Amino acid sequence: MATFNVTNTMDAGNGSLRDAIAMANATPDADTITFDSSLTGMTIGLTSGELSITNPLTINGLGANLLTVDAQQNGFRVFNIDNGNNDLIDVFIDGLTITGGNPIGGGGGIFTSENLTVQDSIISGNTSTGIEGQYDIGRSIDGGGINSYGGYLKIVNTDIINNEVKGQLADGNPEFQNDFGDDPDGGGVSIRNGQLNVVDSTISGNKVTGGLSDGGGIYGWYSDITVTNSTISGNTLEGTALGSGGGIYNRHGNTTIANSTIANNSTLMTSEFGSADGGGIFSRNGDLEITNSTVSGNSAVGLDRTDGGGVYSKNGNLTVANSTISYNSTAGNSADGGGIFSSSGIATITNSTIYGNSADGRGGGLFSEGRTNLTNTIIANSTGRDAVLKTSKIDTNVNNLIEDGHYNPFLSGDPGLGPLQNNGGSTETHALLSDSIAIDAGDNGGATGLTFDQRGQEFDRIVNGTVDIGAYEVQEPQPPAPEPQPPTPEPQPPTPEPQPPTPEPQPPTPEPQPPTPEPQPPTPEPQPPTYLQRQPYHPHR
């Protein structure tokens, strides 16, 4: 296992990315490519063709916003990952922006037939273009951003945005139903015969145009797709024939959506036989499971049959739990199931909110042609009746609130919901207003296995003893936050009492002296001794 360091932004030659990949391809081991820090903020422009990876490899970029690999619209993709045999190799790409690819065929940014993980990266501004056919179905053009065939594809903390797949009719003016020219699929990501796992990522603003168009954001064929903590939004199909799955399309595989948002995706078919299904999600011949997620603002518009503005499920079981399906729509000559369309399978919907959806045909909120199980669910404010069931009954009907009262719900009337907005958690929800009839009106047994409401941790699913109807649970009132107090000062030592000023230094006090004697009269000078004078003797007179 060797490490090769890229030191310049040249297309080829010593120190280039192309040269590092060539050296890695020459060894059978799983090598690593790194980039010198001097390349921070720079772009590696490709001029001589795609970068071909044939052996196990890890590419550690400097960061998606710090290093770009750009094919510069030169008629080829950025990376081609294929070892030429059936033994899958593992390739990791981390910390790059991949842009400017525009090959004829699939995989505008990356084509892979191996196991690929893309992490902390941006795949943006790539295009796959079809070749004009003549009176036949033409060829398939897959994956404006990434096209994966036969391997495992994992996308982690990555933005796949503003990529496009362009198809075209064979002669621009079809006269026969099979004159569809190219088959463009997967504006952001396409996967066939593999497995796709999208985590903490955004797939947004991708586009598919022309021909038989499927999967504006994600396209899957005989593949299992899992989307977790991610956003699939603003992806579009604009076709002239048949088109399905504005956000996600998956056929012959299972689809799992958890803690995610599928919003504002669309399918638009303009030919006289144009059929557009599944504005948000299209699933056929596989099971579809949606939990703790929001599907909102998606639309399906076609001149022919158009079903499932938010969710379309056919020939598979549909499970929706703790989720919100709001403001989706279908429009056309025969447009059913504005929120959800379910056919030829079992639809099981638990503690979910289906609100404000519309259909030009039947079932603005829900249209079901198979068995339908509803528990603790709101269906309200729909255009085109809240629910239309071909079996004329709800097979399992437990504590539901259907505003227009069809199918003998537990409650009917206005559910009292707030707007779709951020009420906590990672996805938008409709809060239950304080006077909502859905509060404490659910069945606890029906909520078995649901620990939290749609918003996740910190939002218990059962509060006050009885579960609420819908995806949102009113929580116990919290005590008001205390008013801010000034910070407590740190304790200080006590201030000393004032002291008299220190006297200026004095000369030392002399030791006490004996008192000075009072002055004495001067001592007389010594005199010669005085002798008594002998007096002359005088006899008595």
The pLDDT score that the predictor gives to residue 269 is 87
Report the predicted TM-score, pTM, of the whole model to 2 decimal places. Answer: 0.86
Inform me whether the pLDDT recorded for 171 exceeds 60. Answer: no
* Antiparallel, parallel or unpaired: β 466-467 and 462-463: antiparallel
* Separation of alpha carbons 253 and 341, rounded Å: 18
pLDDT by residue (tens digit) across 15-34?
A: 999 999 999 999 999 999 99
Please report where in the chains the tokens 């490519």 appear, as a residue. Answer: 33
Tell me what pLDDT residue 534 has.
37
Which class for 1: exposed (0-12), middle (13-18), buried (19 or more C-beta within 10 A)? exposed
Taking the C-alpha atoms of residue 84 and residue 302, their distance in angstroms, rounded to an integer, is 42
- Residue 138 φ then ψ, to 5°: 80, -160
Asked if residue 499 is part of any domain, the answer here is no
Instruction: Give all strands (DSSP E) within 36-145, no chain letters.
Output: 42-45, 51-53, 57-60, 67-70, 79-81, 90-94, 97-99, 110-112, 115-119, 122-124, 127-129, 140-142
The two tokens of residue 63 are 């960061």
**Beta-carbon count within 10 A of 137 CB:** 15
Closest CA relative to residue 240, chosen from 279, 274, 215, 282: 274
Q: What is the DSSP letter of 453?
A: -
Within 10 A of 483 (CB to CB), how many other CB atoms are there? 5
Task: Count how many domains the chain has.
Answer: 1
Q: What is the mean pLDDT of residues 87-108?
A: 97
What's the confidence (pLDDT) of residue 132?
43
The single-letter DSSP state of residue 399 is: S
Establish if 495 belongs to a structural domain: no
Q: Can you give the pLDDT at residue 537?
A: 39
Residue 112 included in any domain: yes
CB half-sphere exposure, 427, CA atoms < 13 A: 36
Q: How far is CA 492 from CA 265, 424, 485, 489, 498, in A?
A: 64, 43, 20, 8, 17
Confidence band, pLDDT 50/70/90 cuts, at residue 140: low
How far is Cα 452 from Cα 167, in angstroms, rounded to an integer?
45
pLDDT at residue 339 above 60?
yes
The residues, ordered by sequence, that sit 6+ positions from 459 with a Cβ below 8 Å of its Cβ are 424, 425, 452, 453, 473, 475
Arithmetic mean of pLDDT over the chain: 89
The answer to the question of residue 170 being in a domain is yes
The larger pLDDT score, comparing residue 265 to residue 533, is at: 265
Residue 525 lies in a domain: no
Number of continuous H segments (helices) and E segments (strands) in the chain: 1, 56
**288: helix, strand or coil:** strand
148-182: burial string, b at 16+ Cβ within 10 Å, e else:
bbbbbbbbbbbbbbbbbbbbbbbeeebeeeebbbb
Domain assignment present for residue 47? The answer is no
530 within domain boundaries: no
Position 178 scores a pLDDT of: 37
Residue 486 located in a structural domain: no
The three-state secondary structure class of 37 is: helix
pLDDT band (50, 70, 90) for residue 364: very high
Residue pLDDT, tens place only, 217-260: 999 999 999 999 999 999 999 987 788 999 999 999 999 999 99
For residue 183, give the nearest of 244, 113, 100, 236 by alpha carbon: 244
- Listed residue (106, 100, 163) closest to 129, CA to CA: 106
Please classify residue 205 by burial: count the beta carbons closer than 10 Å to its beta carbon, then call 0-12 exposed, 13-18 middle and 19+ buried: buried
Under a CB-based contact definition with an 8 Å cutoff, are residues 31 and 4 in contact?
yes
**DSSP for residue 118:** E
Q: What is the pLDDT of residue 141?
A: 87
DSSP annotation of 439 reads: T
**Residue 117 is encoded by which pair of tokens?**
């993980």
Domain that holds residue 303: 55-467
Distance CA 389, CA 407 (A): 9
